Amino acid sequence: MREEVMLSLVHLADGSGRSISVRILGRAQPGILTGHDLLDAEIVVTTGEAHGASFPVTLLPEDLEDWEETLARLEEGESARWLDSGRTPSFAFNSPENGALRVSVHDEPATGVTVTVPLTALSPTWTAGQRSRLARVREAYPQKVVETSPGAYEWRHGRPAAEPEATG
C-alpha cells in the first residue's frame, strides 16, 4: 500500500477566504521512462465568487525551475508570469502600489477563463514559504530520468521503487 502525501507547490492566501494553490497529485506516469518525472497537479482558486474552481495541469521538471525563477523576480518586486508556454493554464503576478499581490490564472488551452484574485495581506516572508514548498515537492518527487541525448532517456540510478502518492 502506498502512503499518501499531501503537497502544495503553491499556496497563497490572505486570510479573507481568497486563495490560490497548486496541489501536487502525484507522478503523471510512474515507472514509465518518458513520463515518470512529470507531475499531475491541479490549480485551485477560491474567492468569494469562485469556491474551489480547479484547473488540471501537468508540470514538467523545468516548470519547477521556472517557479523558482518566478519567485526570484517577485522577491525583487517585479511582476512575473509562470507556466506561460500555452500548454497549461498560466499565472500572472502583479504587485499594485498598495503592496497587495494580484494573481491571475488564465486557462487559455481549455476554457479561456481568467480568474484574478487580489491578495491583500500576505506575510512579508511569503516567498520564503513558497520556496519551502518547492523544496518539499522536489524532495518527494526527485527527478529520476536523465536525457542522455535528444530523445534518448534512461533512469538515473536504476528503475525507481514505489513512492508516496501525493494528493490535494
Q: Which residues neighbour 124 within 8 Å (Cβ) at sequence distance 6 or greater?
A: none
The residue written with cell numbers 518525472 in the block is 37
pLDDT digit string, tens, across residues 4-22: 456 999 999 988 889 999 9
pTM for the full model?
0.87
For the chain, the domains span 4-76+123-167
Q: Are 30 and 155 in contact (CB under 8 A)?
A: no
147 vs 92: which has the higher pLDDT: 92
pLDDT above 90 (res 58): yes
In this structure, what DSSP letter does residue 53 have? Answer: E
pLDDT above 70 (res 1): no
